[in-house]
Amino acid sequence: MKFDGKLVLITGAATGIGRATARRLGQLGARVVIVDLNGEGAEAAAKSVPGGKALAFRCNVANDREVADLRREVESTCGAVDILINNAAKPPVTGSILNTELDQWREAFDINVLGYLRTIRAFLPGMLERQAGHIVNTSSALALLPDPPIRFMGPYIASKGAQLSMSYAFAHALSGTGVGVSVFCPGITATAEMPGGVPPTPPPGMPAPEEFAIGVPKRRTVRVPAEYAANVLIDGLEQDAFLICSQAGYQPDLIAFATAGYDPASIVGEARGELSASVGR
């Protein structure tokens, strides 16, 4: 895949991986549309893209009308979208199974799953008509390798798993149409919205940030800059890869996980006792 002259729309691109991806694509000659709920942040991110070929739009991907308006505004202002990168996300809400409210589940799915579906339904018809285009859904390495921290992040990880499965389904559905699908699973990434790539300070009774590393192999706790994750994504797209992951060494770990019957306990390893102690608190 080449990016020079292509129009790439990225949701959730005011900060983090989305912003870093926009900047890198600008360097590669792409015209970039930055979309974010934070309109001022989107404008600032657009100004940071090299080449002066970026525009910003404010949009709430959880709102049907706003997504429909976004399509009309982008197509009238910029033309047809060649590559859609779904990157907007509802950050993790930490809590146990019983004290996570249903509204928190609904919000996670409305943004992380239905938000992706809304933008796909908005821009896919044009791609199908041209028989050309590409869709990227940003999931998570935790959807591939369910490390113990997910015990605190039910809504988030369930929505990330849905993004992965949805990408499988859409890749099948769009086979032979000229429209490709990729799913990006970033590992732990240091972003502005989550300093150091760890969850924010929790409310009383919720797990402390250091508990998120319990039971996780040390090599999977290494935080990488957003720029690194963005470069991995772009390298994968250049190679026309379906599954792209910025978690170092994920392929051998994924094979071992599959061999162990996809049992989450199988990837805890020697930290199993430490995990058990944490769960019992």
Residues annotated as catalytic are 156
Q: What is the DSSP letter of 92?
A: P
Q: At what angle do helices 114-130 and 102-112 cross, to 10 degrees?
A: 20
Residue 267 structure tokens: 């990837």
Distance CA 218, CA 205 (A): 26
Q: Please give the DSSP secondary-structure letter assigned to residue 208.
A: P
Q: Taking a C-beta distance cutoff of 8 angstroms, is the pair 141, 247 a contact?
A: yes
Instruction: Decide: 31 and 83 in contact? Cβ < 8 Å.
Output: no
Please tell me whether residue 9 adopts helix, strand or coil conformation. strand
In DSSP notation, 134-153 reads EEEEE--HHHHS--GGGGG-
Helix (H/G/I), strand (E/B), else coil: 68: helix
Structure tokens that stand for 279 in this block = 């769960």
Residues whose CB is less than 8 angstroms from the CB of residue 194 and which lie 6 or more positions away in sequence, other chains included: 91, 200
CA dihedral 211, 216, 220, 223 (to 10 degrees): 10
**Residues 161/145, Cβ–Cβ less than 8 Å:** no
133-138 sheet: strands from edge to edge = 54-58, 31-36, 7-11, 83-86, 133-138, 179-185, 243-245
